[in-house]
Amino acid sequence: MRNATADFRKVAVLGATGSIGTSALDVVARHPDRMRASVLGAGRDVDGLVALCAAHRPDHAVIADPALHDALAQGLRDARLATTPHAGMAAFDALASDADACDTVVAAIVGAAGLDSTLAALRAGKRVLLANKESLVLAGGLMMQAAREAGAVIVPIDSEHNAIHQCLPPGGDCGGVSRIILTASGGPFRGRSRESLADVTPAQAIAHPKWSMGPKISVDSATLMNKGLELIEAHHLFDMPADRLDVLVHPQSLVHSFVEFVDGSTLAQLGLPDMRTALAVGLGHPHRIASGVPGLDLLRHGRLDFEAPDHDAFPCLGLARAALVAGGTAPAVLNAANEIAVSAFLQGQLRFLAIPALVEHVLAALPAAPAATLDVLRDADARARAAATQALETGVIH
C-alpha cells in the first residue's frame, strides 16, 4: 500500500527510455513505499514509452516530438492506461516545474535539448538528479545560480561527480578540499596510439568495456571528451578552479573519484560500475536506500591500476580543459561542436580522429565571449553548430 507521508516522492524521469532512465526506474520500483514514477518522458520512442507506462503507471507521459502525440495517446488507450499524454519540449518544461506533477526530476535527456526542462525544475526548487552533463557544460553558471535562488537540490548522477558528492562533508562544503581527481576508464581504445585510431568504426567506439551507455556518451568516452565535459561539470558543481581538477585513467572503473583535502587525507568512493548506485544516492538523499547493486568484492577484483591520460591520442580532454579556462561561451561552443562531430561520426560522415579536429576548428573560429545570459549562450550554441556543420559540408574537416 502506498505511503502517503510528506516525504513520499513523486519522480519525473525525463529520458525514461535511455539507459539512465531505465536504471532510475529500476531503483524507483524497488521502493514503492517511498516513491513512484509520476512523469515519464522520451524523445521519439513511443512504443518504449508506452511499455514503461504500462509497467510504472505514471500520471503523465510526454514525447518530445509533437507529431507523435496522437500515437502516444493511442498507445496509452490501447494499454488501458489512465496516464495523460503530452507532446513537445514545452510540455517537458511544464511538467518538470509543476508542483503537483513531481517533486524530484531525473534529468536524463541527452544533449543540450535537456537544458530547458532542467532549468525549469531548478527554478521551481525541485530535487534534480542531474544526469545531463551537456546542460551543465552549456550553462553551468546560470544553472547553479538558479538552484541557489530557488533552494533546489542538485545531486549529480555521473558516477564521478556522485562519488565526489559522497566524499564531501554534508552540505557540500569544499573549504578544506585541495584537489578533486576524476577517474576515467580510458574507454575502448585505452593504450592505443593515435595512429592506430585512424580507421576506428562507430561500432568499435560504442563498445565500452565497463559501462552500458547510449551511443553519444559512449563515443565521448572513447574520445575522452566525456571526461573533459566532466571537468567543466565539476568546476560548476563544486566551485573548483581548473588548476585543482585532475584526471586519472583507472581501467577497472571501481574507484569513481578522489577528493584530496588540505590535511593530506584523500577520500575515494568505490563501487561496481552500475548507474543504479548513483541514482539510489540521489533518489534517497540524504538517506541510503537499496539500489539492487551488490557490494564490491575487492578480493575477487584483485587490483586497482591508475595511469595518466594520453593527451596525444585523445586531445579532446585538453580541448575541454582549455575551454574551461577560457570560460564565457567557450564551453557552450565546445559542447555544441562536439555534438555535431559525434553525430557525423556515428553516421559515417566523419573519421574518429576528426572529432577533436572539428571541435578545435570551431573553438578557434568562435573565440570565448562573456556569457551573462542564457540568450548569449544559446546564440553561441547555435553559431557553433552552424560553424561545425559548414566545416563538414565544405570538407574543411573530413
Closest CA to 345 of 357, 334, 329, 333: 357
CA 307 to chain centre: 24
| pLDDT tens for the 398 residues of the chain, in order | 344 445 899 999 999 999 899 999 999 999 999 999 999 999 999 999 999 999 999 999 999 999 999 999 999 999 999 999 999 999 999 999 999 999 999 999 987 788 999 999 999 999 999 998 878 898 999 999 999 999 999 999 999 999 999 999 887 778 899 999 999 999 899 999 999 999 999 999 998 776 667 788 899 999 999 999 999 999 999 999 999 999 999 999 999 999 999 999 999 999 998 999 999 999 999 999 999 999 999 999 989 999 999 999 999 999 999 999 999 999 999 999 999 999 999 999 999 999 999 999 999 999 999 998 999 999 999 999 999 999 999 988 87
Residue 3: predicted pLDDT: 42
From CA 136, how far away is CA 132, in angstroms rounded? 7
- The four Cα atoms 304, 278, 48, 10 give a dihedral, to 10 degrees, of 170
Query: Looking up cell 530535487, which residue turns up?
Result: 127
With 0.85 as the threshold, say if the pTM is over it.
Answer: yes
User: Which own/partner pairs from 192-199 qualify as long-range (CB within 8 Å, at least 24 positions apart)?
Assistant: 192/313, 193/313, 194/312, 194/313, 194/353, 197/313, 197/352, 197/353, 198/351, 198/352, 198/353
> Are 129 and 24 spatial neighbours (Cβ–Cβ below 8 Å)?
yes
Closest CA to 214 of 147, 114, 94: 114
